[in-house]
């Protein structure tokens, strides 16, 4: 699936939210590094949660590849341990809704959230 400008903005937010640190192994990277990825719990193909912040975590390339290869046995249990079963269940439910997101509203929200994070830093 091709990435677009909203994907890039979303990735910037997820990496800033995690303070440029892999949420699994703790390795830090400089801003705009290609070493950190925005990893989706439920794939970007699930339009309803593609840009939902609770559907993404910041992972280094190695952790991202590992979790992608072990979603059921490693990624989902890790996510549940970190954020709770209730959030995971809600996310799974929302991921299977047939609704497309309002891309303009999402872009505005992400820009606001990034500015908030920059103000705190």
- What pTM did the predictor assign? 0.84
pLDDT tens, position by position, 50-92: 999 999 999 999 999 999 999 999 999 999 999 999 999 999 9
| Three-state helix/strand/coil letters over 45-90 | CCHHHCCCHHHEEEEEHHHHHHHHHCHHHHHHHHHHHHHCHHHHHH
CA distances, 18 to each of 15, 87, 102 (Å): 5, 18, 25
32, pLDDT greater than 90:
no
43, pLDDT greater than 90:
yes
């Amino acid at each position: 699936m091709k990435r677009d400008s909203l994907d890039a903005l979303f990735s910037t937010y997820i990496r800033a939210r995690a303070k440029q640190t892999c949420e699994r192994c703790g390795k830090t990277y400089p801003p705009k590094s290609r070493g950190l990825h925005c990893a989706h719990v439920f794939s970007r193909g699930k339009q309803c949660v593609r840009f939902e912040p609770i559907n993404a975590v910041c992972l280094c390339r190695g952790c991202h590849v590992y979790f992608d290869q072990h979603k059921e046995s490693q990624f989902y249990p890790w996510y549940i341990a970190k954020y709770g079963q209730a959030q995971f269940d809600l996310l799974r439910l929302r991921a299977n809704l047939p609704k497309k997101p309002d891309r303009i509203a999402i872009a505005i929200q992400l820009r606001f959230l990034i500015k908030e994070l920059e103000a705190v830093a």
